[in-house]
Amino acid sequence: MSTIAPKFRLSYFLKSLTDNVFWAVTLLTLIGLPFIQVLLFYLELPVIGGRLLDPYLALTILADPSRQVPLIKSLMQTEFFKIAAFPGFGFAALLAAGTIFVERKMLAKLQLRVGPFYCGKIEGILQLMSDGIKLLSKEIIIPAKADKPIFWAAPVLFVATAAAFVSLIPAARGGWVVADADVGLLAVFAIIGFFPVITVLSAWSANSKFPFIGGIRALHQMVSFEIPLILSVLGVVILTGTLNLTEIVESQYSYWWIVFLPIGAIVFFIAMLAELERIPFDLPEAESEIVAGWLTEFSGMMYGLVQLGSYLKLYAFAALFTVLFLGGWSGPNIWPPFPEEIIEKGIVMGPITVHLPGLPLLDQQMLNDVLWFVIKVAGVIFFILLPRGVFPRIRIDLLLHIGWYKLIGLAFVNIFIALALVYAGVLGPGGIL
């Protein structure tokens, strides 16, 4: 039985467009503008022309670009923007989403496959969106004998812990970090310590043998590799004399610490792979042995939340490696600065002149910092993803042997190198470099 495809009719197409425009304008009028009006009451609005900008005046100047610039700048300086957009959850989630797509395509090319292809005309670019819609629409199945409160809470706690990890990573100079703690490095390791607890709780609450086996494996793996992970960064702390992540980046404007502490960087990278449960250290999720390990009983968006948290954690570790060993956002200037004449006199745009009070909307130094930070983080993520396509899974006895013996020994060698550089007068206070 053959079916006839419906014919294209211009009138139906135009009707659908007008319907969409009508509902978009209606929703913007009834919901969008009142929401913006309420939001403006909670923002610290700037002074324009000697007059404090109030919420009512703000809505009347949307067509005036010279007044929009300081309004947007004031929004970008709020804590809400830093937490929700940049450099907080939104920025990390965007990079995490790109990482998922790149990983699938990269592994497909390594294994001579196509990979995501059909969802989207360009290399399956919409596959991630379709997967997200699928997870949102799938049923969440809770095991009958599971400890339901803990089972429900585990994915949420996992994402929240990963978001807390992200909040400590500085992405650019000038305070572009959600929480700039003086003991930021200690706070990072304190947060990392929650991941094994959440993993074991979620595995135990499922009341199933495969999640429990995966949870026990994850506990052994994370505990054995957290010690060399912590020891590997002590060399950086010795050379910089600070635990503040922003100050660690600022200490690398002349040279990166990976040049003087390559052993520490290697130990940190290997331990980082184990903490992320990435191949060759993916025993907690070994699909050929225990289905999906501690993730076996998760379904629907509960599984999606765990995956989101996993890739947020991957971004946070890659960014932490960049901050500690690759100079963070430091790099040569690529974006040229705006001429002083344009900043002072403005830019003529037809009948109006756009004035840029103080600095432009996007500071060139910030653009340079973010660009170099993203390039370095993307490079580290590439090397994190690469072993999945070229290495097999190792046995658990070899995994524990690497963590407890080899990496801890190399971490102490790295500490001795850092102490030698300080006491020899090469680096540190009073050093020749």
pLDDT tens for each residue of 252-301: 888 899 999 999 999 999 999 888 888 787 776 766 667 677 778 777 88
According to the model, what pLDDT value does residue 373 have? 93
Q: What is the largest CA-CA distance in the chain?
A: 86
Rank 123-137, 304-318, 381-395 by mean pLDDT and report only the highest. 304-318
Is residue 172 classed as helix, strand or coil in its secondary structure? strand
Mean pLDDT of the chain: 80
Whether the CB-CB separation of 421 and 260 falls below 8 Å is answered with yes
Q: How many CA atoms lie within 13 A of 289 on its CB side?
A: 15
336-388 pLDDT per residue, tens: 655 555 555 555 544 444 445 444 445 677 888 888 999 999 999 999 988 88
Reply yes or no on whether the pLDDT at 95 is more than 50: yes
According to the model, what pLDDT value does residue 245 have? 92
| Section 392-396 average pLDDT | 76
**Does residue 61 fall inside a structural domain?**
no
172-208 pLDDT per residue, tens: 887 888 888 888 899 999 998 888 888 888 888 887 7
**In 80-90, which positions are buried (b, 16+ CB within 10 angstroms) versus exposed (e)?**
ebbbeebbbbe
| Section 67-76 average pLDDT | 69
Query: Which of 101-110, 316-325, 359-368 shows the lowest per-residue confidence on average (mean pLDDT)?
Result: 359-368
| Structural domain count of the chain | 1
How many whole angstroms separate alpha carbon 302 and alpha carbon 298?
6
Strand-pairing partners, residue 347, are 354
Closest CA to 76 of 39, 41, 43: 43
115: left (phi over 0), alpha (psi -120 to 50) or beta: left
| Section 231-250 average pLDDT | 90
According to the model, what pLDDT value does residue 361 have? 47
How many whole angstroms separate alpha carbon 55 and alpha carbon 41?
6
Reply yes or no on whether the pLDDT at 150 is more than 80: yes
CA distances (Å), origin 159, targets 128, 137, 304, 312: 18, 20, 10, 8
Q: Which domain holds residue 353?
A: 143-423
Share of the chain above pLDDT 70, in %: 81
Share of the chain above pLDDT 90, in %: 17
| Section 309-321 average pLDDT | 92
Whether the CB-CB separation of 281 and 220 falls below 8 Å is answered with no
**Does residue 132 fall inside a structural domain?**
no
Tokens 């804590």 label which residue?
79
Q: How would residue 8 be classed by pLDDT, with cut points 50, 70 and 90?
A: low
According to the model, what pLDDT value does residue 352 have? 47
**Does residue 244 fall inside a structural domain?**
yes
Is there a cis peptide before residue 87, judged by omega within 30 degrees of 0? Answer: yes
**Does residue 152 fall inside a structural domain?**
yes
**Does residue 33 fall inside a structural domain?**
no
Q: Residue 22 CB: number of other CB atoms within 10 A?
A: 10
The token pair that represents 338 in the structure block: 């705006």
**Does residue 89 fall inside a structural domain?**
no
**Does residue 40 fall inside a structural domain?**
no
Whether the CB-CB separation of 381 and 244 falls below 8 Å is answered with no
According to the model, what pLDDT value does residue 400 have? 81
| Section 53-59 average pLDDT | 68
Q: Is the pTM higher than 0.85?
A: no
The token pair that represents 196 in the structure block: 């094994």
Reply yes or no on whether the pLDDT at 389 is more than 80: no
Is residue 146 classed as helix, strand or coil in its secondary structure? coil
Reply yes or no on whether the pLDDT at 321 is more than 90: yes
How many whole angstroms separate alpha carbon 99 and alpha carbon 79?
26
**Does residue 148 fall inside a structural domain?**
yes
User: Which helix (H) or strand (E) is 304 found in, with range?
Assistant: helix 300-325
